[in-house]
Amino acid sequence: EPEVTQTPSHQVTQMGQEVILRCVPISNHLYFYWYRQILGQKVEFLVSFYNNEISEKSEIFDDQFSVERPDGSNFTLKIRSTKLEDSAMYFCASGGAGQPQHFGDGTRLSIL
């Protein structure tokens, strides 16, 4: 069964550094998403992406965040200057037309 894959599984970064989280969505999906989950808290929506542009974004997704689909297969989330509070699990999801969203297993981001 096709699945969403995310790399790396764990990223440790110094505060203030840039980090890029990578996702390979399911191949025929059209909609792409990033969510995050701070330890012990709810899964929170960050951004959705369709037709090469952002469709919707939450208050969390400020100027420090950006997304890109650099080629036909990858979907990335960049955090320009990481803060301690960016430590969380980051989940990528993808969905097709009329299809539910399917999630990857996440990247654990630890900011030191």
Partner 1 sequence: DAKTTQPTSMDCAEGRAANLPCNHSTISGNEYVYWYRQIHSQGPQYIIHGLKNNETNEMASLIITEDRKSSTLILPHATLRDTAVYYCIVGLSGSARQLTFGSGTQLTVLP
**Contact residues for partner 1, defined by CB under 8 A:** 4, 31, 33, 35, 37, 42-45, 48-50, 55-56, 58, 89, 91, 93, 95-106
| Cβ at position 102, least distance to partner 1 in Å | 6
Residue 12 vs 17, nearer CB to partner 1: 12
| Cβ at position 16, least distance to partner 1 in Å | 26
Residue 17 vs 50, nearer CB to partner 1: 50
Identify the helix (H) or strand (E) that includes residue 96.
Answer: none
CA distance 48 to 50: 7
| Cβ at position 110, least distance to partner 1 in Å | 13
Closest CA to 107 of 62, 76, 65, 68: 76
Residue 24 vs 89, nearer CB to partner 1: 89
| Cβ at position 25, least distance to partner 1 in Å | 13
CA distance 107 to 5: 10
C-beta of residue 91 within 8 angstroms of C-beta of residue 37: yes
Residue 17 vs 30, nearer CB to partner 1: 30
4 CB contacts (<8 Å, ≥6 apart)?
A: 23, 24, 25, 26, 92, 93, 94, 102, 103, 104
